[in-house]
């Protein structure tokens, strides 16, 4: 089953008199359960594509259909609700709230849900255990290593049980052992939990953990892997 479908997806904006087009008529299909790594030079459209898939930004033209929903046609409120239900975002620099504990950071997305305190606690504890950081639940970000902070950030991304995880350079600020640990964690979430993952990376070593690697250049696929992805098992 094709989970993410981009049809002539274009994103452009004005910079003075110049029109910048990070994505230019991109066609791509990603089946459910894949782990896709996006590579390419700076300005090739990788993060733009990630933000469109996550519902953070909107395309200028074209269609973006995710799990049968044309998300670029949703109102702002409906898009925010869709995003909170379907997407978890993992950032390069973690984006943890420094005055909150690891537990409280992971709990944040659940505060928008109609859950009891006990239900939230159960979900947060499960997410922290999933990423192997439950013993640091009461620690603040400043008391954690970079790898531990990223594990907390991943727990926050999965606590709502989203269909898709998007990750923007998730190992970019980590040393090699920590980076390897984070990639093994993402791979396990893909294999064992069935999470569809779309990851931007500049590190060729991280692509070994992905099921497919796509190269973007000037807003298009440098080598069109769309058919290969469409034909992959769902």
The domains of the chain are located at 2-95+163-230
pLDDT tier at 197, thresholds 50, 70, 90: very high
Average pLDDT in the chain:
91
Please tell me the distance from the alpha carbon of residue 167 to that of residue 186, in angstroms, as a whole number.
10
Closest CA to 132 of 93, 95, 102: 102
Chain centroid to CA 39: 14
Closest CA to 73 of 59, 84, 83: 59
pLDDT of residue 229: 57
Domain 2-95+163-230 - what CATH class?
alpha beta
- Residue 23 near residue 49, CB atoms below 8 Å: yes
pLDDT tier at 32, thresholds 50, 70, 90: very high
Please write the tens of the pLDDT for every residue from 6-24: 999 999 988 888 888 999 9
Please write the tens of the pLDDT for every residue from 41-54: 888 899 999 999 99
Mention every residue, 6+ apart, whose C-beta is less than 8 A from residue 126: none
Closest CA to 71 of 55, 92, 49, 90: 55
Q: Which residue has the higher pLDDT, 110 or 229?
A: 110
- 212: helix, strand or coil: strand
């Amino acid at each position: 089953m094709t989970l993410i479908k981009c049809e002539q997806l274009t994103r452009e904006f004005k910079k003075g008199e110049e029109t910048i087009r990070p994505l230019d008529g991109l066609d791509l299909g990603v089946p459910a359960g894949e782990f896709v790594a996006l590579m390419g030079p700076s300005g090739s459209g990788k993060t733009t594509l990630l933000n469109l898939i996550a519902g953070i930004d909107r395309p200028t033209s074209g269609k973006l259909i995710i799990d049968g929903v044309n998300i670029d046609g949703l109102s702002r409120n409906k898009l925010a609700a869709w995003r909170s239900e379907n997407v978890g975002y993992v950032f390069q620099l973690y984006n943890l709230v420094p005055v909150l504990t690891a537990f409280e950071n992971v709990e944040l997305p659940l505060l928008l849900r109609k859950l009891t305190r006990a239900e939230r606690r159960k979900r947060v504890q499960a997410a922290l255990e999933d990423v192997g950081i439950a013993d640091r639940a009461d620690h603040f970000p400043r008391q954690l290593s970079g790898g531990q902070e990223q594990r907390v950030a991943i727990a926050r991304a999965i606590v709502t049980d989203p269909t898709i995880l998007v990750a923007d350079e998730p190992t970019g600020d980590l040393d090699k052992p920590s980076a390897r640990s984070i990639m093994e964690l993402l791979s396990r979430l893909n294999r064992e939990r069935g999470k569809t993952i779309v990851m931007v990376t500049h590190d060729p070593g991280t692509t070994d953990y992905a099921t497919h690697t796509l190269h973007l250049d000037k807003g298009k696929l440098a080598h069109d892997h769309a058919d290969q992805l469409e034909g992959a098992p769902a």
